[in-house]
Amino acid sequence: MSETDRDPGVEPVVRYGRLLTIPSLSWALYDLGNTIFSMNIVSFFFSLWVVNVMGGTDSQYGYTAALSYAIIFSLSPFLGALTDQAPRRMPFLVVSTLVCVAFTLLLGTGGLTMSLAFFVVANIAYQSGLQFYDALLPEVSTEATRGRVGGIGIGLGYLGSLIGLFLARWLLTGVDELPSMAEQSARYTLVFKVTAVLFLAFALPCFLYVRERARARRFTARAVPAAIRQVAQTFRGIRRFPGLGRFLIGRVFYTDAVNTVIAFMGIYVTNEVGFATEQAIVIMLVATACAVPGGFVWGAVADRIGPKRTLDLVLFLWMIVFAWATLVGLFKLGQLAFWPVPVLAGLGLGGTSAADRPLMLRLTPPARIGEFYGLYNMVGRFSAVTGPLTWAFVAERISIGGVSFGLGLGRPAAVGALTLEIVIAWWIIRGVSDAPRTWGEEDLPPVP
């Protein structure tokens, strides 16, 4: 391998005669597992359980999700910087995954309020694990293959979602006809448990076969204040890294829109478009099936034309998706008119991560990958706080203690607001360059 095939100052773990190796495939399989959790818990079945089974509201789920994202938003930069202070990131990924799995197993037990609390913990652990996982991409790829390796992870991730959705569809067959809430709830609880087991099963190869380069650091009590100082320095010096600030601000808007539509898609298609639960699962299967090739194709596109141009194309696709979904709900165009939405949304889901993960790495100095991925995830979590709040505020009007909140414009108007966010995101990041950076000595990792 030539010097141009690797990051400056970073020695690759594997000589890439092939694109896929045991470490890169094991890394990608984790994406398969965590996307099962994202689809089945964050996106679909838990929100349906809250609203359609337990009699909760959009606001109850939205505000609970916002709380979990607010917490991880606060923790993300610190956690990322903390992993930079440690010899390895893998222990952080293992712990966060096990916590997520444990609390997912508890969903559906103890009533609505207790399960909402369990969801907060499970989602915090899951979101924490994402930044540890993303920061391992340089360990299993090179500068020349990151788009494709990341795209393989995304494609396998959505393939995992298909597995989870097929199992859930089988477990929930006829659930709407069950005579009691307790019987319906038991079916959903079984889905939650199956999801937790599948997440753990597909995470194990990553734990076992991804080997990190040793870093010349010892993890001591001094790592905590050092991480805090590192985060403070980053915020003060972010202008030193061209394009990073604009990209992160733009990412707030497009991840806000994407995360929000994922979180409320199940509620929207069942309560607004009129699909039954089993039909809604088919919609998610279609979207996921389209996301599988989307991840592979967009990853190859990112390697060919660059991650920034690829992201521009993906954002234009999302504009079409949100505008279409808004029109279907607003003018009651019917179920048939809605079917292009999951197809295009699936392609958009595969493309978003395939483009913005490599772009973030292009903007990130090699010595501070964990910290900068903390920022990357922090803005994603900030958007995940504002997204559910925006949806609840636009769609519903509630009264607490005689004080009214929200516009009460309905769910189609909430989707319309997300369309505007995608346009704002594209406008902000349009001037970001993905040209390779030349890093100074202070931005390269220490040699062991």
Q: State which amino acid sits at residue 219.
A: F
Residue 189 belongs to what H/E stretch? Answer: helix 181-209
351-360 pLDDT, tens digit per residue, is 887 888 888 8
Residue 15 within any structural domain of the chain:
no
Q: What is the largest CA-CA distance in the chain?
A: 68
CB distance 364 to 134 below 8 Å: no
Report the pLDDT value the prediction gives residue 205, as an integer from 0 to 100. 94
Q: What are phi and psi of 296, to 5 degrees?
A: -65, -50
Please answer whether residues 97 and 203 qualify as being in contact, where contact means their C-beta atoms are separated by less than 8 angstroms.
yes
In a domain, 183, yes or no: yes
CATH, residue 338? 1.20.1250.20
Q: How far is CA 215 from CA 84, 208, 426, 448, in A?
A: 9, 19, 37, 6
Return the pLDDT at 310: 93
Q: Is residue 357 part of a domain?
A: yes
- In whole numbers, what is the pLDDT of the chain averaged over residues? 81
Is residue 327 assigned to a domain? Answer: yes
Q: Read off the pLDDT of residues 1-33 as tens digits, 9 standing for 90 and up.
A: 333 333 333 333 333 345 678 888 899 999 999
Residue 227 in domain: no
Q: Which range, 98-107, 357-366, 399-408, has the best average confidence (pLDDT)? A: 98-107
Do residues 31 and 153 make contact, with C-beta atoms less than 8 angstroms apart?
yes
Domain range for 257: 21-210+243-435
The reported pTM is 0.68
Phi/psi of residue 398, nearest 5 degrees: -120, 160
- How many structural domains compose the chain? 1
Tell me the two tokens of residue 37: 């959790």
Band (pLDDT 50/70/90 cuts) for residue 442 is low
**223: number of CA atoms within 13 Å, CB side?**
17
How far apart, in whole angstroms, are the C-alpha atoms of residue 213 and residue 447?
Answer: 10
444 belongs to a structural domain: no
Q: What is the phi/psi pair of residue 291, to 5°?
A: -70, -25
pLDDT given at position 293: 80
Dump pLDDT digits (tens) for 409-426. Answer: 888 999 999 899 999 999
Which has the higher per-residue pLDDT, 219 or 16? 219
Give domain status of residue 5, yes or no.
Answer: no
